[in-house]
A and B are shown apart, each in its own frame.
Chain A
């Protein structure tokens, strides 16, 4: 899913059955959850994400997965709880801020989403042109939804500039 890609979490296609057997491999299990999310198998993803979160509750990625699954299942209160833990644990992390932005966007609070996108942008290393560009593209969507086409256009131009910088590397 795009959200996870934005968070720097590599997303692969459907996982072979053999991977699901690697229950003791935390990273493999995370990959499996990402695949489930990508396949829109949210209930299964949620169950796995809950187990992962229980095993390692300090890890931000699993909160992001949890929140995404909850959002897709319409369990917004649970999504919010997972996100609040992310923000409490690592309030300055772009991973936390992006997840919060996605939540705000999902519930139609576009101004709040823009706030979080901007903050995630500020907290992402300047050298990471690709990630910054991706965040701006998400922000473009939020600006448009918020009825701010000029800001969206400005964001889009900046994203294009970053993309050209990325390609010129």
Chain B
């Protein structure tokens, strides 16, 4: 292994060159990411791009991928908010020949510029700017600009911390950079500090880049698109008791509703997101758009964050990082590492490659969460016997996502998407995706509005794909949180605006909109 033999040794030689006695410095689903928030992937999404007025049956032309990192960002948490980590390589990986190995990789790396080193916060602005009044003490002359104008663009002087990023496509070992036609940088949209300081929507719009090759890119701090009763879920599945009187079981009315009956723990929080929209021709192994019935139409994707293996920190010098990277985390399907993988294996899962996931098959094919809920409900929620081969479509290329004849490939946690399935018009889409009769929803890819918590509860715990198990209460399992608190846009990058740091609101249990405490 190259790193044990050379790279690390080189790095350590750097350490050893230092004078002795200098101090050596250095959503949270795995121990390693609980300690490394910036590299923590919260969610990945992949879906056929759509528009707000999408007609049924519109042939797919592009796919949108979204990688969210750095969980539960409190929008008011200044003064420096949430820049991307310039020391992390963010990647969206695509397998297009069904071997669970990357064939195409979209890479993102950030650079940070401090433009207001003399003031105490990263962003400052108001209207046309604030000037020193007539009684301004010397040496500041009256009329001197004290506070810069409201931030409305990436050139605004009040944008103290400005992040640019590079995008590359790695294919066949060659990285091809993507750039704006005029060579100008891509800028990341900052957190929405508040209405006085910045025009966040203007920055969001300016930070959405459409390139001549049909690719669009976006990076920035946005509303956390996920929703879940996080507190109840991880209080040993202590879900709220709603209309049915049985915890985690919804009534038909609650199931149909497009509102929430329990607290969305993620409400009012932000997340850092990277999005890229790509023509399908750039993704498939054939270089063509393929019909859903063709095996080549189905791709697999996952997101990954990596850090350099060697980082040297010597106060007061800037840190030095170089050489090969080590993966910190990866994610394909939602909730796999959170709810399925055992704690003693989570870091290895995070850092290993999907093609090696057969080592985790026992977790995937006999999920502990199913047995826990079976036990907690005293058997009211009956579960199918192991091995749970009904879950194979989540971890192999299989129907109903992939076309007949598609090689299953190894067991691997990839988010699989049949790029030939048209996007469902928003008015007809189901939050329950495939099990809700919506062929363009999770687990055929994942859209922002797919309720993966309820889907996972029904599929993984309730076993509704197993004959005889698609019945009450298994097919009404849910946490009572059906929709995101903010809502999404109907065009790329689809993500909702970051809540205002000044005015954000978290909906807690027991308060209006937060559902019951019990």
Interface residues of A (CB under 8 A from B): 54-59, 80-81, 83-85, 87-89, 91-92, 100, 103-104, 109, 111-112, 115-116, 118-119, 122-123
Contacts and interface: CB of A to CB of B under 8 A. Distances in A.
A59 B344 contact: yes
B344 A91 contact: no
A58 B344 contact: yes
B122 to A, nearest CB: 29
Given A89-B347, A115-B13, A57 B359 contact: yes
A85 B353 CA distance: 12
Interface in B1-47: 1, 3-5, 8-9, 12-13, 15-16, 24, 26, 31-32
B346 interface: yes
Contacts of B309: 87-88, 91
B26 to A, nearest CB: 5
A49 B348 CA distance: 16
Interface string B302-328: 000000010000000000000000110
A57 B12 contact: no
A90 B339 CA distance: 23
CB-CB nearest 7 A-B residue pairs = A56-B344, A57-B348, A115-B12, A84-B1, A58-B347, A112-B9, A88-B326
B9 A123 contact: no
A163 B8 CA distance: 30
Candidate in B327, B343, B351 with the most chain A CB atoms within 10 angstroms? B351
Contacts, number: 69
Given A83-B4, A122-B15, A58 B26 contact: no
A111 B9 CA distance: 9
A168 B1 CA distance: 43
A59 B9 CA distance: 23
B345 interface: yes
Main SS at interface, chain A: helix
Candidate in A57, A83, A109 with the most chain B CB atoms within 10 angstroms? A57
Interface in B344-395: 344-348, 351, 359
B9 A58 contact: no
Contacts of B12: 115-116, 118-119
Given A89-B347, A116-B9, A118-B16, 6 more contacts: A58-B348, A84-B3, A85-B348, A89-B32, A115-B12, A115-B16
Interface of B: 1, 3-5, 8-9, 12-13, 15-16, 24, 26, 31-32, 309, 326-327, 343-348, 351, 359
A54 B343 CA distance: 13
Main SS at interface, chain B: helix
B1 A89 contact: no
Contacts of B16: 115, 118-119
A81 B359 contact: no
A55 B24 CA distance: 33
Given A88-B326, A123-B24, A58 B345 contact: yes
Given A57-B345, A59-B344, A89-B351, A84 B4 contact: yes
Contacts of B347: 57-58, 89
Nearest to A55: B344
21 contacts: A54-B359, A57-B359, A58-B31, A58-B343, A84-B3, A85-B348, A85-B351, A87-B4, A87-B309, A88-B309, A88-B351, A89-B32, A89-B348, A89-B351, A104-B4, A104-B9, A116-B12, A118-B12, A118-B15, A119-B12, A119-B16
A99 B343 CA distance: 24
A100 to B, nearest CB: 6
Contacts of A91: 309, 326
Given A55-B344, A56-B344, A119 B15 contact: yes
Nearest to A123: B24
